[in-house]
């Protein structure tokens, strides 16, 4: 029953969990680049780079716009800020700022309700 937020977070972190993708993200944050312009920088096929770009795009970390036969990719800085916000939430749990942790975590509980089978 993974929530929508969970799936979004999974996609964010998974997209970031690859050196090549983080590198691509840096480039497109610095400015627009076509997929093939990006591909030139990596020791792998164009198709592989295209897949990496697609992963970043699905996660919302990058967006593309057509320009003739090229697809120009640029980084979505707002998405990065969303990820930062997720980390801040974790830090807030640590700080104890998030009081009702029970509630925060409740939805992850198994079928059984509060009482366990002791």
- Phi/psi for 33 (5° steps) reads -145, 140
d(CA 105, CA 86): 15
Rounded to whole angstroms, the Cα distance separating 56 from 23 reads 11
List the single partner that 8 binds among its own copies, DNA, none, CB under 5 to 8 Å by kind.
none
Residue 114, SS3 per DSSP: coil
Instruction: List the interface residues with its own copies, window 25-64 (CB under 8 A).
Output: 25-27, 29-30, 40-43
Positions in the binding site for its own copies (CB under 8 A) = 2, 6, 9-10, 12-14, 16-20, 22-23, 25-27, 29-30, 40-43, 75, 77, 80-81, 83-84, 87-88, 90-91, 93-94, 96, 98, 101, 104-105, 108-111, 116
């Amino acid at each position: 029953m993974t929530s929508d937020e969970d799936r979004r977070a999974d996609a964010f972190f998974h997209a970031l969990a690859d050196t090549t993708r983080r590198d691509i993200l840096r480039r497109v944050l610095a400015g627009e680049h076509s997929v093939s312009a990006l591909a030139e920088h990596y020791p792998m096929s164009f198709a592989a780079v295209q897949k990496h770009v697609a992963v970043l795009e699905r996660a919302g970390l990058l967006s593309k716009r057509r320009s003739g036969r090229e697809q120009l990719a640029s980084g979505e800085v707002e998405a990065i800020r969303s990820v930062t916000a997720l980390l801040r939430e974790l830090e807030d749990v640590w700080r104890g700022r998030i009081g009702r942790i029970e509630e925060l975590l409740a939805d992850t509980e198994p079928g059984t309700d509060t009482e366990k089978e002791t």
